[in-house]
Structure 1
């Protein structure tokens, strides 16, 4: 019997340290939550909306970066509705925003191409600051930067300007890197 639990794609993690070794412990927890959510919802793949949902639920630093007020709650409201109506049109389809040319099969280890691109983007953002591990804010910026992703659609429906959010996170991370 084949295991239905998606694993982290090998190109995102070194083989010797376990599947989530290039992410902080908090971000590894987010990825685990996204896997559980996709399995529970009966989705074929973990997509950017799963990642966003788990990220907002799990990471207080991510919730703090929004403009304040009810934005995170509104976004979570859309995400919670995913399995009962909103997002049902996504079931059975592969998320691919086209942000990164897909040269691999669309269902790599159960992750959508856009989710893979977001995780790769998070790792790139961390590496560009000289950090070995990506954190939740790196993933949030990567998710918000891909304006054609499901995560960006959910952010928009929740009243969040995804591009502005990505810029705010980038500025925050750059400022932290200069101070660190």
Structure 2
């Protein structure tokens, strides 16, 4: 408490923590996190916590995939039951095994050279968040869902999420076709859902 002019005032001593956004600020910038369902916003928060806990400098597509699988039943339904167990088992090992080599690098598959990145996000993960929102808009919705993000992640060739899928024997193309066949209006661009 501070005494000023004979009245008691309470100082706000909480630390100021800048909020990370998933996309660069531009003239028509809208924070990506404002364009997500509550469930997908929770996925982003979980991926951020996971990155910090694992000692990673950035949220990457594997963090997003891991948190999606843990928290979104609609995403899990796209996979066979044993695939979910294998994926989660593999992803849990990230901080003690294969992921250690990722801590020294940045996930930048397909990144545009010279374009500034988004603080706290790998270029691929930031682009995936934007594309998930774009998919929702094309469907006539104004909020992105977990299945939108999954559809983008499985289409991100060379990403860590696709690498994880391949390492446990899950074909990204098969997942994309399953999403296209859900009949929920979540359409995956590409090979027609065979």
Report the TM-score range of the alignment, normalised by the length of the smaller protein.
0.7 to 0.9
2:58 is equivalent to residue 58 of structure 1: no
Q: Please report the TM-score for the alignment, with normalisation by the length of structure 2.
A: 0.79
1:168 aligns with 178
Cα distance, 1:167 vs. partner? 2.4
Cα separation, 2, equivalents of 1:122 and 1:11: 18
Q: Identify unmatched segments of 5+ residues in structure 2.
A: 1-14, 187-194
1:105-158: CA deviation from partner (whole Å, max 9, x where unpaired): 23x121000101111121121111111111000000100001210000101112
**Residues 80 and 131 (structure 1), Cα distance of their counterparts in 2 relative to 1, 3 Å cut:** same
**Residues 6 and 31 (structure 1), Cα distance of their counterparts in 2 relative to 1, 3 Å cut:** same
1:71-127: CA deviation from partner (whole Å, max 9, x where unpaired): 0111111111000011211112110111x5355323x12100010111112112111
2:120 is equivalent to residue 110 of structure 1: yes
**Residues 9 and 164 (structure 1), Cα distance of their counterparts in 2 relative to 1, 3 Å cut:** same
- From the two aligned structures, give the one with the greater helix fraction: 1
1:76 aligns with 88
Please state whether the residue corresponding to 2:33 is helix, strand or coil: coil
Q: CA RMSD in A?
A: 2.3
2:62 aligns with 49
Cα distance, 1:3 vs. partner? 4.1
